[in-house]
Structure 1
C-alpha cells in the first residue's frame, strides 16, 4: 500500500487540512500504517497534481489560513482500482523476536525488561482501542460506512490481546529459568 492510498482513505471521512489529516492519521490509520507529517504534506501535493484531491483555502482571522483537502471522483476511482490489487502478507521485523532466537546468549535480565516494556505498550494500545470502540461504536451497530472501521478495530483488539497473553507467558517462563 502506498501512503497516497492511506491518505485518500482518510479523506473519505471528510475534507481535512494537512494538519487535521496528520492528527486524524495518528489516531486511525496510523495504528497500522505509519507516516510523518512532512510525508503526508508531500503526498497531498502529489495527489493534487494527479487530480485525486482538491484544495480550498479557508480564510481564518488571527491565525494562518487553512487549506482543506477533499477527495475527488478521480481519487475515489483510484481507491477502487487499488482495492482490486492483491494484498501481500505484512513482513515482520522485530528485534525482540530475533533476540529470542539466541536466548542462551542474551542478557536475560535485559530481555525480561524488554518483554515487560512491550507488555506495557500493548496494554496501553489495547486501552486506546477499547476507548475508541466504547466512544465510536457504543451501540455495537455501526452505520454501513463504519463497518470496516469496526472490523479493523476488532482485529486490533485481538492483536493486542494476543501480544499481551504472549508477553505474560514469556515473562513467566523467563522467571522460571531464573530459579
Structure 2
C-alpha cells in the first residue's frame, strides 16, 4: 500500500484540510500505517497533480487561509482499482525479535526491561482501542459504512492482546532463565 491510498481512504470520510487530514490520520490509519505530516502534505500535492483530489481555498480571518481537500471521482476510481490488487503479507521488522535470536549472548536484564516497556505500550494501545470502540461503536455495532473500521479495530485489539500474552509469557520464562 502506498501513502496515497491511505490518504484517499481518509478523504472518503469527508473533505479535510491538510492539517485536519494529518490529525485524522494520526487517530485512524496511523494505527497500522505510519506517515509524518510533511509526507502527507507532499502526497496531497501529488494526488492533486493526478486529479485524485481537489483543493478549495478557505479564507480565514486572523490566520493563514487553508486548503480543504476532497477526493474526486478519479480518486475514487483509483481507490477502487487499488482495492483489486493482490494484498501482500506484511513484513515484520522488530529489533526485539532479532535480539531473541541471540538470547544467550545478550543482556537478559536489559531484555526483560525492554519487554516490560513493550508490554506497557501494548496495554496502552489496547486501552486506546477499547476507548475508540466504546465511543464510536457502542454495543459493538456499526452502520454499514463503518463496518470495515470496526473490523479493523477488532483486529487491532486481537493483535494487542496477542502481544500482551506473549510479553507476559516471555517475562515469566526469562525469570527462571
Same fold (TM over 0.5): yes
Q: Which runs of 4+ in 1 moved over 4 A?
A: none
Shift of 1:139: 3.2
Give the secondary-structure state (helix, strand or coil) at the position aligned to 1:33: coil
* Counterpart Cα distance in 2 of 1:39 and 1:133: 28
Q: 1:140 Cα deviation (Å)? A: 2.2
Distance 2:139 2:120 in 1: 29
Shift in Å, 1:131 = 0.6
How far apart, CA to CA, are the structure 2 residues paired with 1:14 and 1:64? 22
**TM-score, length-scaled by structure 1:** 0.98
CA distance, structure 2, for counterparts of residue 146 and residue 73 of structure 1:
21
TM-score, normalised to structure 2, is 0.99
**How far apart are the structure 2 equivalents of 1:5 and 1:73?**
14
Which secondary structure state, in structure 2, belongs to the residue aligned with residue 139 of structure 1?
A: helix
* Partner-residue secondary structure (3-state), 1:152: helix
- Structure 1 residue 60 displacement after superposition: 1.0
2:124 corresponds in structure 1 to 124
What residue number does 1:35 align with? 35
TM-fit CA distance, 1:63: 1.3
> Following TM superposition, by how much is the alpha carbon of 1:65 offset from its aligned partner in structure 2, in angstroms?
1.0
CA distance in 2, matches of 1:134, 1:51: 37
Unaligned runs of 5+ in 2: none
Q: Distance in 2 between matches of 1:20 and 1:128?
A: 20
Residue 173 of structure 1: aligned partner: 173
How many residue pairs end up in the alignment? 177
CA deviations 1:28-74 (Å, max 9, x no partner) are: 00010000111000000000010000010111111111110000000
Q: 2:100 aligns to what?
A: 100
- Gapped regions of structure 1 (runs ≥ 5): none
